[in-house]
A and B are shown apart, each in its own frame.
Chain A
């Protein structure tokens, strides 16, 4: 029944949903952080290559 747990005594057992929720929160934040790090590293590499090329030209 809809909202049946409102009729029961004590809090509903919704621990799994809480775990899922926080898994999403920390998971997504972690993924974004990793993506920032990866992009940062790739850019750093590009920068070094470009600087090398420029150095050779001069």
Chain B
């Protein structure tokens, strides 16, 4: 690679400062997302692992909860099982996605690149979000099919999106820390689950509401809470991300 072609990736320092800064930020972020997605398209190891894991959890729940046709249509059960699947599969994905960066030394490479650290954070978080959403939107029809419940409810999809954003926002930050620890295989769920609990709580409640066909008045507070949590967690993770990648 020549020097000229390399420098074209750098954010432009000249020109209108604010606009070019935003453009550079978006470009860097897009590059990180694109790197993750294209690597995944080639290997497919992350997605397939998450998916098979999700299917296994569905299978286990079937026997563990003895889901007979009457109970399995209970909205509480469905929402609960779905979120347990998402949370566990999400942990798997987050750990893997950050461990790859660490092992292949990509993280160090990314940090050496002259881009804003927060662009790396948002890039990784967006990549993780895409993976999580992909798994979720494959799990949903399978779940509907296996348990004969209709999950294609726009409200539910919205809740899943909002819940995943909050989960990934804080999960990306904590996974970045966890993979740098000696005990990294076990650390992420221990760090993540208690912290992300408010998001999961609100997401399960809102999902149950939509599956239940509850009034909007009942569901709206939970949706608002989810949005608030998403903003709070993204903002804080973004502010402190610098400190977890610093050498």
Are chains A and B touching directly in their complex (CB below 8 angstroms)? no
Residues of B within 8 A of A (CB): none
